[in-house]
Amino acid sequence: MASASRLVSLALCLCLGAALHAAPRGAHAARAFFVFGDSLVDNGNNNYLFTQARADAPPYGIDTPDQRATGRFSNGKNVPDIISEHLGAEPVLPYLSPELDGDKMLVGANFASAGVGILNDTGIQFANIIHISKQLRYFEQYQRRLAALVGAEEASRLVRGALVLITLGGNDFVNNYYLVPYSARSREFSLPDYVSYLLSEYAQVLARLHDLGARRVLVQGVGPIGCVPAELALHSADGACDPELQRAAEMYNPRLMALLADLNARLGAGGGGDPVFVGVNTHRIHNDFIDDPRAYGFQTATEACCGQGRFNGLGLCTVMSSLCADRDAYVFWDNFHPTERANRLIVQQFMYGTTDYIAPVNLSTVLAMDLRKQQLRT
């Protein structure tokens, strides 16, 4: 059986390689890509909004070819950019970008906005951000624009054949439930009840995505939020992760995976054979770096590259901040977000990880499965 399993894996990898080799580059990429969520995946929507939750000034983007701050909360590329590389496509544009028109629409769109969460009251301190309910309305608007461009039938085909990434949940803890002592949500809910409430709301978001045509959705869990430099600066004397925030993430993530399995079963994809929703264990991926950063070529997983104060975790990353010389040696770029190098290692687990990292199947398997279905149709 082990030999047969290896042969199947090899066949899937060969199919994937053929798909990437054959995929047209640029605006006419074979598969569209849509992104929803928060600052971990925002690539510039907040640049067009009056909000403090922006990354449109140096030293953000310092390691891009033109060293320009694009609105990504990184020194370079973020997770959606690197997934686009694996799809053989150019990065998707922010939905609010005036450049998103004509052939660029065929690549997809990024609707994410820094500061948002599952709940619409998450991130209210940032004022003008695109909450997830509005991101979904923008997705509807995008589809109407696309249908006007290519026709309703082709627009539906493109959306149903697209890859979707959604990243939510972390802000619902750090920028809501635990934002201040005795926050409104923490007075309203115990932590277990709050997790239940979050997941009931998230189920509606994911079901709405499906209603709007999404058929391949990567859903990232909540990372080790107690270990980010911002939380270490406030709560850690020695670089140890904050146990309460870690408890929240560890309570939430297994229940998220159970929710995705239930949604797949209800939507006719039970047993993992052809899943709509694929769960990414972001917590496990990041914990690998945090537990043993040197095993992955990092010098530190506690200090941010750009910031100030303890663990470089206080305040915003600005031109006045302390800035590290070697970004590749750091897991964290600023007080919350990974460096490009960490993002690349994260996407490696998206692509090739075992079910400990991504389930029920990894992204390379999804792409190979979809390529075979496409070939059978033609």
Task: List pLDDT tens digits, range 335-374.
Answer: 999 999 999 999 999 999 999 999 999 999 999 998 888 7
Residue 293 lies in a domain: no
Residue 73 lies in a domain: yes
- Residue whose C-alpha is closest to residue 176's, from 222, 227, 111: 222
| Strand, helix or coil for residue 222 | coil
Residue 233 has phi, psi (to 5 degrees) of -60, -30
Residue 366 lies in a domain: no
131, 283, 286, 337: the active-site residue: 337
39, 236, 321, 364: the active-site residue: 39
Distances (CA, A) of 315 to 62, 119, 183, 321, 336: 19, 24, 21, 9, 11
Q: Taking the model in full, what pTM does it have?
A: 0.92
Is 288 known to be catalytic? Answer: no
- Residue whose C-alpha is closest to residue 371's, from 108, 83, 31, 34: 31
Q: Which domain holds residue 79?
A: 33-280
Number of domains in the chain: 1
Residue 187 lies in a domain: yes
Is 39 known to be catalytic? Answer: yes
Residue 144 lies in a domain: yes
Q: What is the CATH number of the domain that holds 274?
A: 3.40.50
Task: List pLDDT tens digits, range 94-143.
Answer: 999 999 999 999 999 999 999 999 999 999 999 899 999 999 999 999 99
Query: Is 271's pLDDT higher than 80?
Result: no
Residue 368 lies in a domain: no
172, 242, 334, 370: the active-site residue: 334
Is 337 known to be catalytic? Answer: yes
Q: Which residue has the tokens 């403090």?
A: 52
d(CA 72, CA 80): 10
Residue 209 lies in a domain: yes
Residue 156 lies in a domain: yes
Residue 263 φ/ψ region, left for φ over 0, alpha for ψ in the -120 to 50 degree band, beta for the rest:
alpha
